[in-house]
Amino acid sequence: MPATIDRHQKFWRAATLCGGLSMVPSASISATSGISVSTGIDEQARLPFWETSDRGMSLRLVQRLPDQTRGFFEARGFSKARAERIAQSCVFQTVFKNISGAAEPSPLDYNLREWVVAHKGRTQGMKTREDWNREWRENNTPKPARIAFEWALMPTRQRYAPGDYNWGMSMFNLAPGTRFDLTVTWRQHGENRQAVIKGIECAPDIHPTPAELGSR
Amino acid sequence: MKCAIIWAAIVYLSSSQPLLAADTHTQSLPALPEPLPAPEFTLQGEDGETYRLADYRGQVVVLNFWATWCPPCRYEMPSMEGAWQKVKDQGIMILGINVGEDADTIFEFTGSYPLSFPLPMDRDGTVVTSYPVMGLPTTYVVSPEGKVTHRAVGSREWDDPQLLDLLRQMKRGN
């Protein structure tokens, strides 16, 4: 890992010296070499998000309720049983962007197969499009459903030019309500970069009433 | 005082803005390192017409791959319609290739998002996989010579004057 100290790192160091980092939930902060990590409530989804950003990169994971995922895939031709299987797989809406500007443009490369999910002392990879597609082909899922599924997920590998981004679902293959840490790896500005987002929580499998949804 | 400023910044960063397309648009249209021959296709449009890429040789073609359920695809559609209104008589074609959906679904979508440029349907995903598309939306620009020269991953403000000027320059052969 590069050990460059940039202004972000100086900022967080100063914050630590101010003695206030304990005010920020420990689960939300795990920065490596100037990379920031934060959490909060996504304004649009009104659900928790976890976000990491670096010089030229930003990644936000927003919880998706299992009910939202069930509804989405049932509407696109999946049987109830298969939509249920997807919904129980810890799904996040993901926005990954190359935000490098004109002053310091750089392509950004990533491969989801390099990302590591840590849960209860064990590590595993993410469940990618290709993993799922193998299952769908084996159990003869209708092609229109498979097409929608494939394009709804984050690409397994991608190269973003400055200004490019994707918005898609990420699946972590964990039970609803599970907490996990995610090690995110990417390459930009000629360096391999890494961030650990700690304490991400899969959405619980709740069934809000219309009144509760209205008050969200 | 310094600590107060730092903590004010932390509070600001912790409540950071959602990463919506609208918040951080960069009007970039990156050129490919090497232009690629644009794979040919023939697709039925949502309007019942047949669309062949080869029919637009000599024009600049903006090929947008999209789906109705894709939030950034929906986001950029009004600006793509705005662009179409400005360039449709200037030798620039916009084709919004829908991936995997049927005419009824697209028709319903256009009730909320009025679109007048052609919407060919790639029902079985054959065309989208013939291009190096990894995620939706992805938009390619095809030169009058039939080469893919530019790619945008994610939404853009397509009616941005600078983007339109780039397309016009390509049409003029500059």
**pLDDT tens digit sequence for A15-50:** 333 333 333 333 344 445 668 899 999 999 999 999
pTM listed for this prediction: 0.83
Residue A1 is predicted with a pLDDT of 35
Chain A contact present for B1, CB below 8 A: no
Average pLDDT over every residue of B14-22: 34
pLDDT surpassing 50 at residue B1:
no
User: Do the domain assignments include residue B93?
Assistant: yes
The mean-pLDDT minimum among A91-105, A184-198, B21-35, B54-68 falls in B21-35
Does residue B31 form part of some domain? no
B11 and chain A: CB distance < 8 Å anywhere? no
* Domain CATH code at residue B78: 3.40.30.10
A68 touches chain B (CB under 8 A): no
Domain count, chain B: 1
Domain of B72?
Answer: 37-172
- Residue B23 placed within a domain: no
Residue ranges of B 42-81 with Cβ closer than 8 A to chain A: 67, 69-72
Percent of the residues in chain A that have a pLDDT greater than 90, as a whole number = 76
The shortest CB-CB distance from A42 to any of B13, B18, B151 is to B18
Residue B112 lies in a domain: yes
Judged by CB atoms closer than 8 Å, whether chains meet at B16 and A99 is answered as no
Residues 6 or more apart whose Cβ sits within 8 Å of residue A96: A57, A58, A59, A110, A154, A158, A160, A165, A166
The answer as to whether B81 is a domain residue is: yes
Average pLDDT on B40-58 reads 97
Domain membership of residue B15 (yes or no) is no
Q: Does any CB of chain B come closer than 8 Å to the CB of residue A163?
A: yes
Q: Tell whether B47 is covered by a domain.
A: yes
Report if residue B133 sits inside a domain: yes
Mean pLDDT of chain A: 85
